[in-house]
Structure 1
């Protein structure tokens, strides 16, 4: 398993509570925090600067071409300059849950269904399929026309699958009765992972190796894991984080090995995010600690954090 080292994001990180993280895989990383603030690095985490967004957000993604979009509830914040400056985007959605950027459009899962933007988040269209039920909690693509969205109906988790870039969808139940499908992740070679709130007892993990047609539990992943999130390098290496545990797979999510930090004197509390640049660097925000767990070794220089756009 990888070795990890905690680093402060700033010389004084006591007021910075990191949560979600994303990378454009070209050197830029952004870590969201409470209160509409964030940390940005343009050199793969060697230095960090504080930035301010116009609203509270908890999820972020990028098209890897300079556009970043961050969302939460009724808020959509957009940056077209690599995350330096931000503006609010008008829209008609409610209860936004997830965002996914791809070369074939940007998609949002929300309480008002599935919405799509073809202009990098400037305008949005409701493309909720007729077969859809209730709120959507997650959406992702394999980049080759297959999309999967998650939802829930009559106390049963549902997935909705499209093989023509969202033009047509089919839906069917997945998981046990009482399941609540949450986030969905794509890896490579037709492998997907679903995070499932089963019977409100915690989170379990479901895997598909046939591009989302059939799903089965990942036997090596324990039940009752809260806050489970994944990242993958697209070459079969997956890492999942929850509570004080790191789950790692080198066989395209078929099996995982867990490393627990829960027995430490001051165990880290991982946030709801993990990201990689697909070149060996991985980062996990540490909630309520103002630090980030880094694997991939580097020399670090600290910037200064302030409640405005600031740079070291």
Structure 2
């Protein structure tokens, strides 16, 4: 069932966004006025890009559903194909990058298709660091902690609990986390490999997992993923393809969740939630323009950007209200920077965007 949902999600989203490409004019208000996407697409590629990690305004990595991995070091003006050559058929749904040289990519899928590769030379060579051997595991997301050494990857439930593996050496080795610290999953509960943000980290040791299907919940760990608590959200679950798709935390306490049902891409009512206590409780956020697969905070602000197949929404009040800024469909979004901020997005058919109009400092 999980494999079908993953394949169906990719097919539905690719088809639904193909006709909504460039028009990015929207009715804007307040600090969202003037925001629009500048396209910096991959050349000669039609892969769906759900893996995205930006290092800064110049360096970003994206990965695709047909074994593709690309890197730019000039803000998207040019892209270099740096895929692991031997694995062209794998679906790389998540990227974690530390620099223009150091990155990890997660391939999703049943059994041995779920893998983690790592490079330290900009993608010239890759090392296989993890290959799943559990028959019922299906890995969805990968996240590293701010120290660059600790990291987690999560799978849909195995034996009734979400499976988590952890690294303490920057991704060189991975070990299964003792499942006794993970609450039981509901029957039919799973994660979405939609944007690489169903698992996120913030602070020093905090991590969160988003779920969907028969439950729309958020799991929270304060000890590098060893033990977890779980809380309901206001986002409605849906066994056919709904729930929480993406999380973003600006501190260890303040976070946003977005989601919906990928089979109802224009329904954005009740599809955001927010927390101020690290995810112990969630309250309903403002409505958005439709199902949203990715969200991220603009650093050091109350502004966040959410993307989905029918457009982009921006909040400037921590998720209470949202404003539509365009109809171009993206899967994933990430905002980076300190003195100046850049938001990147990736989507179907090799699409990549950079958000224009953000404050410079």
**How do 1:1-312 residues align onto structure 2 when only pairs under 5 Å count?**
1=32, 2-10=35-43, 13=44, 15-25=46-56, 27-53=58-84, 54-55=86-87, 56=90, 57-64=92-99, 66-71=101-106, 72-73=108-109, 74-92=114-132, 94-102=137-145, 103=147, 105-111=150-156, 112=158, 113-127=163-177, 128=179, 129-133=181-185, 135-137=190-192, 138-151=198-211, 155-175=214-234, 178=237, 180-188=243-251, 190-197=253-260, 204-222=271-289, 225-236=290-301, 237-261=303-327, 268-270=328-330, 272-278=331-337, 279-288=340-349, 290-296=350-356
For the aligned residue pairs, the C-alpha RMSD in angstroms reads 2.9
> 2:182·2:229 contact (CA, 8 Å) conserved in 1?
no
Please identify runs of 4+ aligned residues in structure 1 that moved more than 6 A: none
> 2:232·2:282 contact (CA, 8 Å) conserved in 1?
no
Evaluate the alpha carbon distance shift between residue 34 and residue 167 of structure 1 in structure 2; reply closer, same or farther with a 3 A threshold. closer
TM-score by length of 1: 0.78
Deviates more, 1:231-240 or 1:179-188: 179-188
Partners of 2:248 and 2:230 in 1: CA distance: 17
Partners of 1:161 and 1:242 in 2: CA distance: 25
Partners of 2:120 and 2:45 in 1: CA distance: 30
Q: When you count helix as a share of all residues, which structure comes out higher?
A: 2
Q: CA deviation at 1:257?
A: 0.8
Aligned residues: 284
Q: CA deviation at 1:105?
A: 1.0
> 2:235·2:244 contact (CA, 8 Å) conserved in 1?
no
TM-score by length of 2: 0.69
**What per-residue deviation string (whole Å, max 9, x for no partner) do you get for residues 210-250 of structure 1?**
2212101212335xx33521122322231111123111122
**What per-residue deviation string (whole Å, max 9, x for no partner) do you get for residues 119-145 of structure 1?**
222221222324232645522222232
Listed as ranges, the gaps of 5+ residues in structure 2 are 1-31, 193-197
> 1:188·1:235 contact (CA, 8 Å) conserved in 2?
no
Q: CA deviation at 1:117?
A: 0.9
Q: When you count strand as a share of all residues, which structure comes out higher?
A: 1
Q: CA deviation at 1:199?
A: 11
> 2:235·2:273 contact (CA, 8 Å) conserved in 1?
no
Q: Which residue of 1 aligns with 2:10?
A: none
Listed as ranges, the gaps of 5+ residues in structure 1 are 262-267, 298-312
> 2:259·2:292 contact (CA, 8 Å) conserved in 1?
no
**What per-residue deviation string (whole Å, max 9, x for no partner) do you get for residues 249-297 of structure 1?**
2233332211232xxxxxx432x11223323222222412x34222349
SS at match of 2:291: coil
Partners of 2:346 and 2:235 in 1: CA distance: 31
Partners of 2:80 and 2:58 in 1: CA distance: 14
SS at match of 2:36: coil
Deviates more, 1:31-40 or 1:197-206: 197-206
Q: CA deviation at 1:21?
A: 1.8
